[in-house]
Amino acid sequence: MTIAIIELTDVSKKYGTQVVLDDVSFAVNPGEIVGLIGPSGAGKSTIIKIALGMEVVDAGNATVFNKKMPERQILGELGYMAQSDALYEQLSGRENLEFFAEMRGVKNIDSEIERVAEIVDLTPHLDKYASGYSGGMKRRLSLAIAFLGNPKLLILDEPTVGIDPSLRRQIWHELQTMRNNGHTILVTTHVMDEAELVDRVALLLGGKLIANDSPSKLEDAYHVDTIEEVFLMAEEEK
């Protein structure tokens, strides 16, 4: 029996009187890329915060690596990229990577920095201050930080916002290579053509999980050609 890397069972979460997640059951299995999609306010970021132990469920159960969350000990086994860049702007790109690599106990830090910088095309800019980076470069640096140490689990919240199409393609190639090597990836995106690249799409609307299957099976079920059309039809039906 396969043990899910992330598993939410009958999870509910409120902020005040607002129901953000309503009895959601959701799993991410080893060696797959799951795309979490839905409009703003649907509950995507709340699922991520629960998986990271940043939020506690009001009802239900949430586990990561089969440990009930929150559990600080598992944080070293995952890489996380938030929607908002959390960088030390007074440091260079290289110094940011060194700091986070040391925090995670990464070995062979210099070679690891070169590896992740090449993936996100930041090698020529590593010794520039992060304060001088463009918005897209900051996103790339944040993604490189998430890749440090080749983590078993990646949780990426809108990772390609502000990144040009050719580099986006390169990043998705890397994500798929990691998946093929047994890594597990949960990614949120508003870019519907990216949702075509995942193994499974989980669609949230109004705090409920209303679809959870491969892109091709969802397209067949809704009799449409793209995940974008699935999303639009699901919104109309809601």
CATH number of the CATH domain containing 22: 3.40.50.300
User: What length does the chain have?
Assistant: 238
pLDDT at res. 171: 86
pTM score above 0.85: yes
How does pLDDT run across 38-47, given as a tens digit for each residue? 888 788 889 9
Q: E-assigned strands of 94-183?
A: 153-157
Q: In this structure, is residue 198 part of a structural domain?
A: yes
Determine which helix (DSSP H) or strand (DSSP E) holds 209, and give its type and residue range. strand 208-213
pLDDT at res. 202: 94
Specify the residue for token string 């070293």. 76
pLDDT at res. 1: 65
Buried b (16+ CB within 10 A) or exposed e, 148-176: bbebbbbbbbbbbeebeeebbebbbebbe
Half-sphere exposure of 90 (CA within 13 A, CB side): 0
Q: In this structure, is residue 54 part of a structural domain?
A: yes
pLDDT below 50 — which residues of the chain? none
Domain count, the chain: 1
Start-to-end CA distance of the chain, whole Å, equals 34
Contact 123/111 with Cβ under 8 angstroms?
no
Q: In this structure, is residue 159 part of a structural domain?
A: yes
Rounded Cα distance, 130 and 141, in Å: 9
Q: How many CB atoms lie within 10 A of CB 114?
A: 14
The full DSSP string for 168-205 is HHHHHHHHHHHHHTT-EEEEE-S-HHHHTTSSEEEEEE
Q: In this structure, is residue 1 part of a structural domain?
A: no
pLDDT at res. 199: 96
Pick from 92, 91, 119, 237: which is nearest to 176 by CA?
119
Q: In this structure, is residue 186 part of a structural domain?
A: yes
Q: Which amino acid is at 58?
A: D
The full DSSP string for 32-49 is -EEEEE--TTSSHHHHHH
Domain that holds residue 180: 6-237
Contact 207/171 with Cβ under 8 angstroms?
no
pLDDT at res. 36: 94
Q: In this structure, is residue 48 part of a structural domain?
A: yes
